[in-house]
Structure 1
C-alpha cells in the first residue's frame, strides 16, 4: 500500500493513458503464454491484479473529482478521456480472462482462484466483444451527458439556487404548502429539459439494442443480464420474484400507505406526500454534519470492534465526500481505491434523514470492502450487485438501535419510517425493473408509448398514488430522474432482492442481535466466494427466488 498517512483530497492524480496501459497489458499476456505451469501463470495473474488496481484507482479518483464539481474543466476532460478508452481496457480484460478460461493449467487455477470466477468469465465472454467498442464509447458519452444535465439543472426556490439534491429538504418539508411549492418549482424546471431527456434515452435504447444485435441476441435484455453478471439466476427468476411482489407485497405496502395517509390527515396521498411519514415532519438529524460524524463514530465504536476500526480508518483518511454543493453530481455511492486499500463514500448531505442513511447504507458497502480489502484472490471481491446491496441495506437495520444518537427523542420515529420506507421501496424498484424489461424488449417504443407503459405499471405497483397538477411526474416521467435507468440498466432489481434479504436479517436481529451480526459478518467475508443463493443459505437466510418466499416474509414483518 502507498503512504499510510494519505488523505483523500490530497491523493496525487496522473492520467493513465491507453498507450501505457496497452504496453503493460501486452507484457502480461506474453508472460502468461510463456508460463510453464499453473503456479507460474498465477504469478503472472497477480501482475494483472496490480495493473487493474492501478487503472481502476486512477479512474475512480477522476470520476470522484468530476462528480464533486461537474463544472471543473480538467476533470471533465479526464472523464471524457476515460469514457473513450474504458471500452478498450474492457477489451483487454475480456481477452485476458479468455486466456485464463482456456488455460491448459485451468484445474490448478480453479483450485487457486475458485470456480465462481470462471463462471463469471463465461458470462463476461457473452457480454463483450471488440465489435462493441464504438457503441460502448457512444453509450459512455450519452450517460455522462445525462449525468451532467441533471447535475447542472438548478432550481430557484425562495431566494436560493439549489441543485436537485439540495432541493430535497423542501420536498420533504413537514409543511405541505412548502412541499407543493417545491414540487411545482422542480417540475417547472424539469419540463424545460424533457426534450433532451427523451433524446438521450432514445439514443441509449437504440445504442443498447445495436449492442445486442451485434452480439447476436434478440434484444438487450439478455445482454443486460450478462452485463450485470447474473451468475445464479435469470430473467424468469426475476419475473417470478416481481409477481410475488405484486401478489403479496403490494397489498402490504398499500396497507402501510393507508396508515401513513391517516397519520398525515389527508384524504388522498399525492405525489408531494411521497417520502413524508409524520404530520410533524420526518425526523431530521440533530446538529451539523460534524455532529452526524460524531454520532456515527460512537455508533460504530459500540456496534463491534470491526466497525470501530473501519470507521476510524475512514475518518483518519478523510474518505467521505458527502457535503452538498451546487455543482456536485446527484446521488451517492461507495467505491474502492484498491491501490490504497481504501473505501470512499460520495453523497450529498441535504439536512434530511438521508444524511444518516449515508452513514448506514454507504458505510455498509464500505465496511464490507474494508473487511475484504486484503484478499489475495481479487476475484473473491467481484461481488454481484444484489450481494453488495444486501451488505448495505442490512447495515441500515443493524444500526437502527443507535438512531437516538442522530435523532434524539425521535429515534423511534426514524425506526418506524425506515421500516416503512423499506416496504414502500420494493414495489417501486420492481416497477423500475419491469419497465426496463418492457423498454428493451420493445426498443421501437416512442417516448409517449414508454410513458404509457410506465402509467400502467404505476397502477399495478403503486395504486395508492395520485399526481395532482404535476406536469412532469404526472406525465409518467418519474423514471427519468432515476439515474440507474440511464446509467446502469437492470441494476435496480438488485436493491429489491437485497431489501428482502435485509428484512430477513432484521427479523433475525430482533430475535438475537449478536447472532444475526455474526452471520452478517460471515456473509460479508464470503464476499464473492460462492453464489448468492448459497451464501444466503450459509447465513441461514432464504433466497428471494424460492417459492413461497414473499408470502412468508410478509407474514413475519411487523409494522
Structure 2
C-alpha cells in the first residue's frame, strides 16, 4: 500500500499578474503577458516559484476562454458563430499556447533554481513538465491543430444525426428511450432506425478517422516513437502503469466479467422467452415492466438530485446547489446539441460546467450524478493556486464520478418507490458486468490500432469483430453484421480523445472499493473521498488512491474480489 498523502494549499486566489478583464480568446492580448514571463529574470528559487504561479493564472485564463468557446459550440453545433469562435481559437490561439508553453516548460525545467523548490510540492509538476519538454516538437503543433479540427468535424456529424420515428424527428439520445419499451417490435424498429442512421455516415466517419490515424502516427514519429501508443502513454503522463498492466486489465475483464455478463444474457433470454437475444433486447425490463422514468424534466432532475447529495453529505449538497446559478448546467437533449455528457472546468473563475443530453431515462440520472462527481472534484481542489494541480489524472477523476453513482444508490428513493429503487440499483450493478468488458474492447482496439500503422479498413474491421467475439455479449447479430462491423464509431473517445478509455476501468475498480467502504462506514468513505479529491493532481496516481484508502491494482485477482461483491449484492436484490 502506498503512503497516504495530505496537502496544505498555499494561499489561494489569483495573482495580480493577469488583468481581471483580459480577453483570453485573442492571442494579441495573451502574447505580451506570456512574453513577459519568458523574459523575466530568475535570481532565486522564490523568483522561479512566482513565475510558476503567474504562469498558472495566465494559463487558467486561456484555458477558461477555450472552455467557454467549447461549451458554446457543443451546446449549439448548428450555430455558425459558435463553430467559428471555437475553430478560430483552435487554429490561431492553441498553436501559440503550445509553442509558448514549451518555452516556459523548458525555462522552468532547466532553471538552475529548480533544486531550490519544495521537493514534495513540485515533484509532480516538474515530472510532468519534463515529459512535455522531451515530447515537444514544433512540427507537431499544426498536426495537433488539424487533429482537433477533425474531432470537431466528427462532433458536427454526430450532433446532426436524427431519426424520424413515430411521426417526429428525434435525437439519438431520445431514441434510446424506445429500447426500454416492452413491445419488441417497437424496440427493433428504434434500434434499426438508429443503426441505419449511423450507418449512413459510416463512410464519412471512416474518412475522418483515417486522417486522424495518419496525423497521430506522424506526431509519434516526429517525437522519435515507433508508434502512437507509446507516445500517448508518455503524453498522458502514464508514469505508474504501462501496456502490460492494460493487458492484465483485458485479461481480468475476459476471465472475470465476460462470464458474468454472458450468464446474465442467458438469464435475460430465458426470462424474455425469445429464441435468441438480439441487440434490441438488452435494455428492456425482463419482467415486462415499463421503463424506469425517474424524472419528467430537467428541473425535477436537478431538484431531486440535490436532495440525494444533501442526504449523502451536506457539504456535497451545497456544492451541487452552487451550480444552480443559470450558467453552470445545460442538461436537456435537443437538436443541434453535441452527443454525450461532460463536466468542463472554467479555470479562472474556478467553477465547473455540466453538459448532458437528458431525456428522462435512468441512464440520465446516472449521468447527472456522475458528472456532479467530477464537479465535486473540481470544487474540492480549486483552492490550489497551481492550475496543474487543479486537474487530476483521469484515472482518479473518474473515481470521483463513478463512486458517486454507487454511493448514492441508497438514496434513489428521491426518484422512485422502494421496488423501483431496487430495480435501478440492480440495473446499474448489472451494467458493470457489461461496462468493464466494453472498456477492455475499446482499449484493446486502440492498442491494436496504433501499433499496427498502415492497416487497411478491412483488417481494422476484422480486428474489431475479433475483439467483439472475445469480450462481447451473448447476442445474435444475424442479418445485422454491417452495423456490428462499424459499431466502434459510436465511441466518441476514439475520435476526440485517443487512448482515453481504460481510465474508466481503472477508476471503476477504485469506485467499487469506495462503495465497499461506504457499505461498512459511510462517514469514513466520505471523509476519504473529500481528503483524496482535495489533493487534485498534486501527488502521483498511486498516492491519490492511497489517500482514499484504495488499492491501485487492476489485475484479475482485484477484479474478481470486487465483482464477487457485486454478485453478492445482486443476489440480495429482486429481479
TM-score bracket, normalised by the shorter chain, equals over 0.9
Alignment of 1:554 with 2:563, yes or no, is yes
Per-residue displacement from partner, 1:262-301 (whole Å, max 9, x unpaired)?
Answer: 3434333221223445432442214332111111121122
Task: Indicate which of 394, 398, 402 corresponds to 1:389.
Answer: 398
Alpha-carbon distance change, 553 to 354 in structure 1, aligned in 2, over 3 angstroms: closer
What is the SS of the residue equivalent to 2:323?
Answer: helix
What residue number does 2:483 align with? 473
Candidates 418, 427, 431, aligned match of 1:421: 431
Candidates 54, 62, 67, aligned match of 2:61: 54
Q: What is residue 145 of structure 2 aligned with on the other side?
A: 137
Structure 2 equivalent of residue 69 of structure 1 = 76
Distance of aligned partners of 1:196 and 1:539 in 2 relative to their CA distance in 1, 3 Å threshold = same
Q: Do structure 1's residue 255 and structure 2's residue 263 form an aligned pair?
A: yes
CA contact (8 A) 1:124 1:229 kept: no
2:294 to 285, 291, 303: 285
Residues 481-533 of structure 1 show CA distances to partners (whole Å, capped at 9, x for unaligned) of 11001111110110111111111122222222222222222221222122222
Counterpart pick for 1:541 among 550, 554, 565: 550
Asked if 1:401 corresponds to 2:410, the answer is yes
Moved more, 241-250 or 122-131: 122-131
Could you tell me how far apart the structure 1 residues matched to 2:556 and 2:444 are? 20
Q: Residues 225-304 of structure 1 correspond to what in structure 2 (within 5 A)?
A: 225-278=233-286, 279-304=288-313
2:183 is the counterpart of 1:175:
yes
Q: 2:403, 2:512 within 8 Å by CA — same for their partners in 1?
A: yes
Range moving further from structure 2, 82-91 or 389-398: 82-91
Matched, 1:523 2:526: no
Alpha-carbon displacement from aligned partner over 1:231-281 (angstroms, at most 9, x marks no partner):
211111111221122122222222233333334343332212234454324
- Equivalenced residues, count: 548
Q: Match of 2:415, SS?
A: helix
**2:167 equivalent in structure 1:** 159
Runs of 4+ in 1 over 4 A off after TM superposition: 12-15
CA–CA distance in 2 between the matches of 1:117 and 1:404? 43
Task: Please report how far the alpha carbon of residue 13 of structure 1 lies from its aligned counterpart in structure 2 after TM superposition.
Answer: 10
Please give the alpha-carbon distance, in whole angstroms, between the structure 1 residues aligned to 2:113 and 2:101.
Answer: 19
1:504, 1:262 → 2: CA distance?
32
Distance change in 2, residues 1:258/1:432 (3 Å): same
Q: Would the aligned equivalents of 1:248 and 1:551 in 2 still touch at CA under 8 Å?
A: yes
What is the rounded CA distance, in whole Å, between the counterparts of 2:155 and 2:339 in structure 1?
8
Q: TM-score, normalised by structure 1?
A: 0.93
| Alignment check: 8 A CA contact 1:253 1:423 kept | yes
Name the stretch that deviates more: 157-166 or 481-490.
157-166
Matches within 5 A, 1:486-525: 486-525=495-534
* Residue aligning to 1:307: 316
Partner of 2:46: 39
Deviates more, 1:481-490 or 1:224-233: 224-233
Alpha-carbon distance between aligned partners in 2 of 1:222 and 1:282, rounded to the nearest angstrom: 44
Aligned match of 1:365 in 374, 381, 399? 374
SS of structure 1 residue aligned to 2:324: helix
Aligned CA distance change for structure 1 residues 448 and 283 (closer, same or farther; 3 Å): same
Task: Indicate how the Cα distance of structure 1 residues 37 and 237 shifts in structure 2: closer, same or farther if over 3 A, else same.
Answer: same
Which secondary structure state, in structure 2, belongs to the residue aligned with residue 360 of structure 1?
helix
Number of the residue aligned with 2:5 = none
Q: Give the whole-Å Cα distance in 2 for the aligned partners of 1:171 and 1:252.
A: 22
Asked whether the equivalents of residues 132 and 214 of structure 1 are also in contact (C-alpha less than 8 Å), the reply is: yes
The CA distance in 1 between the partners of 2:132 and 2:116, in whole Å, is: 21
Distance of 2:124 and 2:336 partners within structure 1? 41
Q: Indicate the residue corresponding to 2:383 in structure 1.
A: 374
Partner of 1:97: 105
Are 2:407 and 2:515, in contact at CA under 8 Å, matched by a contact in 1? yes
* 2:250 alignment partner, SS class: helix
For 1:413-440, what per-residue CA distance to the aligned partner results, in whole angstroms no more than 9, with x for missing partners?
0011111112210000110000011111
Cα deviation, residue 120, structure 1: 1.5
Could you give the per-residue CA deviations for residues 40-70 of structure 1, whole angstroms, max 9, x where no partner exists? 2211222111211111111111110111111
Instruction: Find the aligned partners of 2:333 and 2:22 in 1 and give their Cα distance.
Output: 23
Determine if contact 2:147/2:215 at 8 Å carries over to the other structure: yes
Query: How far apart are 1:401 and its partner, in Å?
Result: 1.0
Structural mapping, 1:71-90, within 5 Å = 71-84=78-91, 85-90=93-98
For residue 348 of structure 2, give the secondary structure of its aligned residue in structure 1: helix
Between 454-463 and 287-296, the greater mean CA deviation after superposition: 287-296
> Conserved in 1, the CA contact under 8 Å of 2:173 and 2:357?
yes
Aligned to 1:458: 468
Partner of 1:6: none
Instruction: Name the CA distance, whole Å, in 2 between partners of 1:51 and 1:174.
Output: 54
Structure 2 counterpart of 1:438, from 448, 455, 461:
448
Q: Secondary structure at the match of 1:343?
A: strand
Other-structure match for 1:8: none
Q: 2:358 aligns to what?
A: 349
Q: Is the 8 A contact 2:121 2:538 kept in 1?
A: no
Please report how far the alpha carbon of residue 105 of structure 1 lies from its aligned counterpart in structure 2 after TM superposition. 1.4
